[in-house]
Amino acid sequence: MLKKTVIAITVVTLLIAIALLATGAARMVAIGIWLGIEAAILLLAILFERGRYQPGTSDGPWSPSAERFQDPTTGQWIRVEYNPRTGERRYVEEG
């Protein structure tokens, strides 16, 4: 939802930049060029992002580490598990 909203706003900004370029006034053309470049960079960054921010998988050889702590907000004890293959860590509530 957020991605689609940002794309829509960027497309509207590109249309405004094109309208500024069409006026022909020197100051408006300069603003239109700047606005168009900024909007195009943002649009390309959004469209070609690779989704790097995905949660890790639960597959693999997880082993408990010696770390254990109490969550200050919930009061639950949390155990840290470690995946030696990837170096990933995860936090599991102890029941």
Provide the pLDDT for residue 78. Answer: 94
The 10 Å Cβ neighbour count of residue 66 is 7
Domain boundaries, the chain: 2-47, 63-93
| pTM (predicted TM-score) | 0.51
- Tens digit of pLDDT per residue, the chain (95 long)? 888 999 999 999 999 999 999 998 889 999 999 999 999 999 999 888 876 666 666 667 889 999 999 999 989 999 999 988 888 888 999 87
From the number of C-beta atoms within 10 Å of its C-beta (0-12, 13-18, 19+), residue 38 rates as middle
For 24-81, where are the alpha helices, taking DSSP H only? 26-47
